[in-house]
Amino acid sequence: MFDIGWSEILVIIVVAIVVVGPKELPRLMGTFGRYAGKLRRAAAEFQRQFDDAIRDTEMAEVKKAMEAQPAFAVRTVPAGERPRAG
């Protein structure tokens, strides 16, 4: 998703320690983790609803296509007769 390497992560950590301070960093990371979890759950819920909507649309299209097709007649061949070609 993001193309972040170890050097970028190290720079982010150093800046966070300098700006926030080492005492407040664990609380900040916990808060960040909670919000990241909420964001992931919201994204998963959105994806699930989107997939459900697509599935419902596809099912409606299949049902419409099946109703548009005429019923196929089945011709039975009596025992002992050979079916005719064509």
pLDDT at 1: 53
Chunked into runs of 10 residues, the chain (86 residues) has average pLDDT values of 79 88 88 94 94 90 80 65 65
- What is d(CA 73, CA 83) in angstroms, rounded to the nearest whole number? 15
pLDDT at 36: 93
pTM of the model: 0.52
Start-to-end CA span in the chain (Å): 58
